[in-house]
Each structure stands twice: as C-alpha cells, then as structure tokens.
C-alpha cells in the first residue's frame, strides 16, 4: 500500500519491522488521513511478510487470521458484501466490526491474505460518508491485491535449461 491507494491527503506515518517473526522477514506501513492538521485523523496499516516456503506461509497465514479476527469472534466480524471482489490470493479472510473512533461511529475492517510465500494484513477504520468509505476501502483492497500478485514469488519449481 502507498499513498496513491488512499484518498487524497493521506500520508505515510510509520514504517517498521514486526518483532518475533519466525521463518521470514516483514515490513509494516501505516498511513493517516486527512491531513494531520485536520482533527480527528484516521489510519490504515499494512504488513507484508515473506516466508522461506509455502508451508511456513500457510501456518503464518492461519496465525495472522486468528490475530486479526480472534477465534470465537468470527460472527462479530462478518465479511461485508460491499468488499466482495475477485482476488489473486491463495487464501483470504476479510471481516468488519462496528467500532467508535474519536467518538464517531465507524467500522473497523481487517484483511489477511496469502500469495505464495507472502502473507499480508491490512486494517483500517471505515466511515459512512467521510475520510475512508467502504467503497474506498474496497478500492484499497483491490489495489493491494494487485500489488501483492505483482510481487508474488514465482510458483512451482524452476527447471534449469542445459547449456548448449
């Protein structure tokens, strides 16, 4: 995710490496909008993790899903039909739950997806008619999905061609 994936006026606020990542490396980015001078501001964040193989990435995906939408609470985090789209992910989980952000009703939405050896999470606050709407969040999901597919590790085993 980058600022071009979000509504005008959003900016990157942080980037980091998560701790305790086993079998891979990761990056995290967080964006805030509208311009920081306008209060309140809202946020959206994405992590991308690259694992050494798909066995580890599948296990990491399951752990990430459980962290984003805890087991036993899936009914409180339904996948809204407004967020249905054709994905390139091998596995994907999306859920949204009512929340309050700076005393304003919002919906917190979370996505976890696996693309081969890559696992990504995306989360943000969605509002009815300002800052980041459900339609804009869907657009963000579609853009992230396309970008993740573009950086996916090649699938299958490469067969070397003998030199003449």
Top-confidence residue, 162 or 56: 56
Find tokens 């929340």 and name the residue: 99
pLDDT at 128: 87
Rounded CA-CA distance 34/51 in Å is 34
pTM of the model: 0.83
Rounded CA-CA distance 20/23 in Å is 10
Burial class for 21, CB neighbours closer than 10 Å (0-12, 13-18, 19+): middle
Contacts of 34 (CB under 8 A, 6+ apart): 7, 9, 10, 41, 131
Find tokens 């036993």 and name the residue: 72
> Could you report the per-residue pLDDT of 93-116, keeping only the tens digit for each?
999 999 987 788 999 999 999 999
Mean pLDDT of the chain: 83
Can you tell me whether residue 112 is helix, strand or coil? strand
CATH class of 3-151: alpha beta
> Could you report the per-residue pLDDT of 124-158, keeping only the tens digit for each?
999 888 788 999 999 999 999 999 999 986 655 44
Confidence of residue 120 (pLDDT cuts 50, 70, 90): very high
113 token code pair = 């997806």
> Could you report the per-residue pLDDT of 32-75, keeping only the tens digit for each?
776 555 555 678 889 999 888 999 999 999 999 999 998 888 89
Tell me what the mean pLDDT of segment 5-29 comes to.
68
**Portion of the chain with pLDDT greater than 70, in percent:** 76
pLDDT at 159: 44
pLDDT at 21: 63
């Amino acid at each position: 995710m980058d600022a071009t994936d979000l509504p005008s006026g959003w900016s990157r606020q942080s980037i980091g490496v998560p701790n305790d990542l086993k079998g891979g490396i990761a990056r995290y980015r967080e964006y805030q909008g509208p311009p920081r001078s306008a209060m309140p501001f809202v946020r959206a964040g994405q992590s991308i993790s690259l694992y050494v193989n798909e066995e580890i990435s599948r296990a990491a995906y399951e752990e990430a899903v459980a962290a984003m939408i805890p087991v036993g609470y899936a009914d409180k985090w339904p996948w809204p039909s407004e967020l249905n789209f054709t994905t390139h992910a091998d596995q994907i989980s999306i859920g949204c739950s009512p929340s309050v952000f700076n005393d304003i009703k919002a919906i917190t939405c979370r996505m976890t997806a696996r693309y081969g050896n890559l696992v990504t999470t995306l989360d943000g606050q969605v509002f009815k008619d300002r800052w980041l709407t459900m339609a804009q969040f869907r657009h963000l999901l579609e853009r992230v999905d396309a970008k993740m597919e573009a950086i996916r590790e090649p699938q299958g085993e490469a067969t070397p061609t003998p030199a003449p």
